[in-house]
Structures are given as structure tokens and as C-alpha cells.
Amino acid sequence: MEYNPKAIEPKWQKYWEEHETFKTDVWDFSKPKYYVLDMFPYPSGVGLHAGHPEGYTATDIVSRMKRMQGYNVLHPMGYDSFGLPAEQYAVSTGNHPNGFTEKNIETFTGQLKELGFDYDWSKMVKTSDPSFYHWTQWIFKQLYLDGYAKYVDMPVNWCEELGTVLSNDEVIDGKSERGGYPVVRKNMKQWVIDQQAFAEELLSGLDEIDWPQSTKEIQKNWIGRSEGVEVDFKIVGGGEFSIYTTCIETIYGITFMVLAPDGETVKELMPRIENKEEVEAYIAETLKKTEMDRTELNKTKSGCELKGIHAINPVNGKEVPVFIGDFVLGGYGTGAVMAVPSHDQRDFEYSEVHNIPRIQVIDGGDVSEHAFEKGDYLGKGCKLMNSEEFNGLTVEEAKEAITDKLVKMGVARRTVNYRFREWIFARQRYWGEPMPIVYLEDGSIHVLDDDELPLELPELEDYKGKNGKAPLDNATDWKNYDHNGIKGTRETSTMPGSAGSSWYYFRYIDPDNKDEFANQELLKHWMPVDLYVGGPEHAVGHLMYSRIWNKYLYKKGLSPVSEPFKKLVHQGMILGSNGIKMGKRFPEFVVNPSDIVEKYGADTLRLYEMFMGALEASKPWSDQGVEGARRFVNKVWNYFSNPDNISEDNADRLTRLYHQSVRKITHDFETLGFNTAIAQMMIFMNEATKGTCPKEYAEGFVKMFSCVCPHAGEELWSLLGHNETIAYEAWPTYEEALCKEDVIEIGVQVNGKVRGVVGLTDDDTQESALEKAKAIDSVNKFIDGKNVVKVIYVKGKILNIVVK
């Protein structure tokens, strides 16, 4: 019988749909649970790309295996359906973005179904659906009531011409990326979420989860915890300011101070500054730069002195000049630094440009060419110099001693700082969740009652914001709030793209719940997610925000787990056949999964993407590879669809290989090593096709194969005489004893004389045979301490080791 994916693939997709094969009864607690999650796609206008099926096939294989192993599996799919492309479509056509979004969702769903994934579509969520964003708004409301969501004055990148706040990467050299209009830093009222409140738990939680080490590192760096000291410096002639330092041991090396140009201290000092004009011009320059531009290490250290201003070093009363420089950020620490050019490279460069002397205070390095920094001296036993009573102490001792002294003097405090700031939680966009917030006439904030949620997006005539206002500002009626005698104006910005995806994994468990975001008993049973697969590009965005929302809900007793995703795996990128990233810049390399399905079938595409290489690795697309995958599916099909190849006999030449294959494939599926699992299937097939295969092994093989190629798997299963789906059949088992290779004993010679006997199997190579021989004392006696110059190994016959 000819293998014909065009016939069997739609047939089984229809069967699964009609029989609700993959519908999960979440209330069935009789079996252990397994929750497999994919990062849900943004339903763009171009449909799936070749990268999507990669991660989705990986989770599909695992969820199919777990189901056969007796787990109650939840494997849902949905859409992250708020976002900019739909909004741009609405602006340019005047049509509501929902129509565009729904059409794309339909295309995506069709494509995903065509690939044979075992999703429970009854659990589907869409973040732009009011029944979903009802609860996004509700959780935001709780964050606000508990003081984690705040409305604060914040420095932002403001573009007057575009009338909007821009993110750092939308600004290039002080101009907007789009249009090249000037951008300035200015303070604006913003909705933010206080991430720092969760910093310690976010850090310690990393130890609880099975995530790639690199992703944990990225999160750790993003949080950027540092322990240091805040020290007050008096200004000659009155006033003071504080600095934050992580290197208090260098305090005797201060030769100047630097203030953030956009900070408060400079403003206060302005009347006393002698070179006001120069200072004001520099401040104006700074406001045009983004933080990214300002902190780049290789930038020249610009700035100017505040003439007439001197600060007093509290340890020795020494007066030092005060500068401003844009490498000091207003929003970090205290917005001021003590500059130690001998031990900080940025300060070193600044001192070169501005002709400031240097004092070395840590011994053991040369400071004439560049700074001798903490990375070079910490933990090396380096001692202090030029530091009065602290001379001779190690850096570590001095840190403590100097801090103690300053704290006792009442001019310093030990503090912890985090590099990540508030999460800006509002955008001047239409296609996002409306904020459940109203501003009353007296300026106070009113949050909507629960029965006013969801607050739905109004239809607009024009989806473009006017005069620098948010698009929702056009909705005059909607904006005016008058409810139960309370009058005010609604917040017109919407939540950022990452809001819905920060909690969607809860909603899949109970997507139709009208009374709460999900039933607590269900959450207790189903959380955490056992396996989460998605791209590494989400390391700090989505994967951090999800952990923050979960931490909050956990604290509040609404999430049963301290971490939402137990195990995380990133799939690698699928590159163009020339090894270049597929995508916008190289449209000729974009592979549309539907084209491959049309030509070869979904099972071939699935097998190919899993066989390309390790899941986590980036790998180039290869058309020959797809052909090869198709040949293998054909081979499996041709062999098992022919009843002449199936025997009733069980004592068979295939026994050992079958048991080894079950062991290896099970292990590899568990550890997401799909390429090696498929390689083992190939080894098995090569052997099997030399003769007949016992029915038991045929069935076991087809079960494993069906996880990768579910349509062919189901069809072969029915040809083997079954009339129900393979999806709930018991996973094949193996016996360790039957996996063992036959051992043959052979004599080991050293320089021609037999010195012992070693047991070797067919699998042993010259190297492994030598290793095993060395483990025998009577043999090793003659090898130890000598050079092995030659090894002669003839399988099953001789092992001769020549030593000198």
C-alpha cells in the first residue's frame, strides 16, 4: 500500500476533532497530571514560519508520550493577540483591529491543525478577548490596591513631533528611529509596576527551577543586585549630597565627585555655580541622549566642572572639585558618584579628559595606563595604601572597617541596589487592555468596581492618536466616566504587550470561568507548568514578567506555586539553507510550513525538524534533509503496512535491539533529545527490514513513532488491527536484562604474552576494549607507567597491547 499523507493526514485530524481525542478533563484527578506549555504566538499577518513547528513538535512528542504513560496531560494553545501590527492595520484602513486579528487567528489555527498537534482547542485563550482581559484588568487592579502598581513621575524618552513616549531602542542618537525627530528625556506621570519589590524572591527562585543556566544568568544580570554603601558628602559653604558606591575601600582615592546632569542636586546648586552657561548647555545636551548612549563604556567621558563647588571627603576632610558627567545616571543609586580614577576605568578616562590627578589606594597593580579595578584586586589579598589608619588591611577587611567607621560617624548607610527599575506599564496605543482607572475631578485615582469589568475597548472612527494623545482620547463618550454618582475621566493609555502573557498559563486551566481568573482547586492540581518550550529571546521580557505576576499572586495566596515554570527549554533557531537567519531581510529563505505539508506531508515536516539537530541548537534548513525524512517515513510505512512483515513469534533476532530502542527512545524523549531518538528508530528499522518483526515489537515501535509522526502512526496502528486511537495506548516497556549485549571473553596479551581475560561485547571499540583491559589488575601491572605504542584488536578474537 502506497504511503499517501494527503489522504491519511486530514482523515486523522478529522477523527481527533470528532472524537475530542485530546480534550482534557481537568477535574479528573485520578491520574498524575502533566502540564506542557508552548509560548503562544502573536497572530501576525504572515502565518506560521518554520521556527514555530520546531518547539511545537517537541512539546507535542512529550505530551503524547506522557499521555501513553498514564498522565492526564494538559497541552493547550492560544494567541497573544494584542499588538502593534493589528493597530497599524487599523490606523491605515480605519477598520477595527479585531477583524484583522481574528482572520489571522483563523489562519494560524488552520496551520496548527494541519500539523497534527494534540492541542486541546477547547482551552484556547486570546489575550484580546474581553473574557480574558477581564482578568488581566482584575489582576492589575489588585496590584494597584496592594501598592505594586503605581502612578508616578518618571523620566521617559519623549518625542514631541510623534507625540509619544519611546522606548530606549526606538531612539538613535537623540532622534526618533521613525522620522528622525528630536527626543528628550523628560519627567512624566506613568503607570509602573514595582519590580524591585520582588527582586529578592526573583533571585532566590532561580535556584528552584530547571532552566538553562544562561537564561538564569541573564535574569540575574537584569535584576543587577549590588550591595554597597550610601555616603553623605558635605559641600563647602553649605548643603550636602549622597553617593552610592560598591567600592567603599577606595574612599581615600577620591580626587573629584560627579553628579548626574539631570539630577536634583545640580538644580539646587545652580545659583552658586560660576560657569552657569556652560553647565546649562551641557545639561541640555544630556537630555537628548538615552541611557543606552550614556552608559556605553567606550564613549568619551564628557562633562564639565561645577566651578566654585567643592565637596568634603568625610574620612579625611579633604576638599575635592565637583563635576557633572552624563555617564552618571539620575535614576540609579543616588545619582551621584565619588570618583576614584585609580580604581575605576570610567573615572580614569574622565580624569584624563579633564586633567584631574589620581591617588592609588590599593596595592598590587599598575595604575599609570589604566585603572586597577575591583575585578583585578578582589579576593587576591591586595592591601590598602595611602589610606591612613586602614593601610595594610586587605580590601575585604577595609570594606568592613571603613563602612563601620562611616556608619558610626552617622554619615553612611549599608544599602542594596538593583539595576532593574520600575516596569513601565502603559502605552499610548489602542490595541491593548484598557486600564481600569478613572481620574476624579479632584485629581485622585478611582479604580473600577469588579462588576464594571471587563472594561471593553470602544470602537473608534479613527485609530490614530491626535496631537500627541493616546488613540482612546478620541473616544469622547467612553472617556467620560459617570457612575454611581462618581464623575471623572478614564485613563486612555492601555497596558503593554506583555500584560496578558504574564498570566495566560493560569487561564488555560480554567478558560471559561466567569467568577475568577481560575478555580483555586484546579490551580493547586495543575500548577506549575511541568515543561515550557519557547525562544531564548524572551529571557528577560515575558519570562521575567510572568515570574513577577506569579510572585505577586503567590504572595496573595492566589497562585499555589512560587515559580510558574518548573522546566524551561529554548528551541534553537532554524536558519536559511545558507546558515543565515530566515526572516524579513532574506525573504527568499523563508520556509512556509504549509508548503512543506503540501509537498511531503506534516509527518515528514515534523520528523525532519526533530532530526535536524539538537533542539536547542541553531541549524540550517536543508531541502535534501526533508527528502531524507520523507524516505524514512516511507520506509516505516512500507514495512509495517505489509502484513507479511509481521510475525507471531517472539523469541527473535530483534529482541535485544527492540529493548535497547525502547530504553533509548524513552530516555531521549524525556530529555528532549529527539534527534538521537530518531537515529535509534533508524537503527531499529535497518535491522527490522532484514526480515520479519514480531507483532509486539511492531506495535511498540509504532507507538513511539506515532509521537513524532502521529498520522502515519495512527494509520499503521489501525492496520495492525486496532480500531481506536493509539493516543491512550500504554507506552512500551523494556527489560534491562534483555538490553544487555552478549559478552565474549577473550585473552589479553601484553607484548605477546597472555596476562588476563576480558569480557567484551559487539559494541566495544578498540578504545573501550583497551579501557576494560586496563581495569584488570593482572593486565594493568604490565601497562602501568609504560607507553602504549600499539593496540591490535580483532573483534571476538584477540586484544594485543604493545608497550614500551
User: Least distance from C-beta 402 to ligand ANZ, angstroms?
Assistant: 12
Residue with cell 504572515: 46
- Cell reading at 392: 595594610
User: Least distance from C-beta 545 to ligand ANZ, angstroms?
Assistant: 23
User: Least distance from C-beta 678 to ligand ANZ, angstroms?
Assistant: 47
Mapped onto helix, strand or coil, the DSSP state of residue 426 is coil
Rounded CA-CA distance 718/710 in Å is 12
Largest CA distance in the chain: 105
Residue with cell 530516555: 667
User: Least distance from C-beta 373 to ligand ANZ, angstroms?
Assistant: 6
Among residues 404 and 456, whose Cβ is nearest to ligand ANZ?
404
Residue 101 φ/ψ, nearest 5 degrees: -65, -45
Asked whether 327 and 291 are in contact (CB, 8 A), the reply is no
Residue 529 φ/ψ, nearest 5 degrees: -65, 130
- 156 has which bridge partners? 186
Rounded CA-CA distance 335/260 in Å is 5
Cis before residue 454, ω within 30 degrees of 0?
Answer: yes
User: Least distance from C-beta 336 to ligand ANZ, angstroms?
Assistant: 7
The end-to-end CA distance of the chain, in Å, is 63
Q: Is 566 left (phi over 0), alpha (psi -120 to 50) or beta?
A: alpha
Q: How far is CA 393 from CA 254, 358, 383, 612, in A?
A: 18, 21, 5, 58
User: Least distance from C-beta 347 to ligand ANZ, angstroms?
Assistant: 7
With a CB cutoff of 8 Å and minimum separation 6, the contacts of 96 are 90, 459
Among residues 254 and 633, whose Cβ is nearest to ligand ANZ?
254
**Long-range contacts from 521-525, C-beta under 8 angstroms, 24+ separation:** 522/26, 522/27, 523/559, 523/560, 524/560, 525/26, 525/29, 525/33
- Cell reading at 556: 496573595
- 418 has which bridge partners? 225
- Cell reading at 262: 539631570
Cis before residue 155, ω within 30 degrees of 0?
Answer: no
Among residues 329 and 614, whose Cβ is nearest to ligand ANZ?
329
Among residues 332 and 478, whose Cβ is nearest to ligand ANZ?
332
Question: Are β-strands 568-569 and 531-533 bridged in parallel, bridged antiparallel, or unpaired?
Answer: parallel
User: Least distance from C-beta 294 to ligand ANZ, angstroms?
Assistant: 9
Other beta carbons less than 10 A from residue 355's beta carbon: 6
User: Least distance from C-beta 224 to ligand ANZ, angstroms?
Assistant: 6
How many whole angstroms from its chain centre is CA 643?
48
Among residues 304 and 720, whose Cβ is nearest to ligand ANZ?
304
User: Least distance from C-beta 359 to ligand ANZ, angstroms?
Assistant: 11
User: Least distance from C-beta 341 to ligand ANZ, angstroms?
Assistant: 9
Residue with cell 504574564: 502
Residue whose C-alpha is closest to residue 435's, from 189, 604, 120: 189
User: Least distance from C-beta 353 to ligand ANZ, angstroms?
Assistant: 16
Residue 682: enclosing H or E segment and its boundaries?
helix 674-688
Kindly write down the DSSP assignment for every residue of 25-61, as one continuous string: -TT--SS-EEEEEEPPPP--TT---THHHHHHHHHHH
Among residues 343 and 570, whose Cβ is nearest to ligand ANZ?
343
Among residues 258 and 773, whose Cβ is nearest to ligand ANZ?
258
User: Least distance from C-beta 249 to ligand ANZ, angstroms?
Assistant: 8
User: Least distance from C-beta 400 to ligand ANZ, angstroms?
Assistant: 17
- What SS3 string covers 500-526? HHCCHHHHCCCCCCCCCCCCHHHHHHH
Asked whether 801 and 748 are in contact (CB, 8 A), the reply is yes
Among residues 340 and 801, whose Cβ is nearest to ligand ANZ?
340
Count how many Cα atoms sit within 13 Å of the Cα of residue 94 in the half-sphere of its side chain: 2
- Neighbour-count burial for 98-127, b at 16+ CB within 10 Å, e otherwise: bebbbebbebbbebbbbbbbbbbbebbbbb
User: Least distance from C-beta 312 to ligand ANZ, angstroms?
Assistant: 16
User: Least distance from C-beta 372 to ligand ANZ, angstroms?
Assistant: 9
Rounded CA-CA distance 662/457 in Å is 54
Among residues 344 and 491, whose Cβ is nearest to ligand ANZ?
344
Angle at 670 between CA 20 and CA 210, to 5 degrees: 105
- 34 has which bridge partners? 73
Residue whose C-alpha is closest to residue 252's, from 339, 382, 369, 366: 339
Rounded CA-CA distance 778/795 in Å is 21
Interacting residues with ligand ANZ (CB under 6 A): 226, 244-247, 250, 260, 327-329, 332-333, 335, 337-338, 340, 343-344, 374, 417
User: Least distance from C-beta 211 to ligand ANZ, angstroms?
Assistant: 24
Residue 471 φ/ψ, nearest 5 degrees: -55, -35
How many whole angstroms from its chain centre is CA 36?
16
User: Least distance from C-beta 254 to ligand ANZ, angstroms?
Assistant: 8
- Cell reading at 756: 588476563
User: Least distance from C-beta 340 to ligand ANZ, angstroms?
Assistant: 4
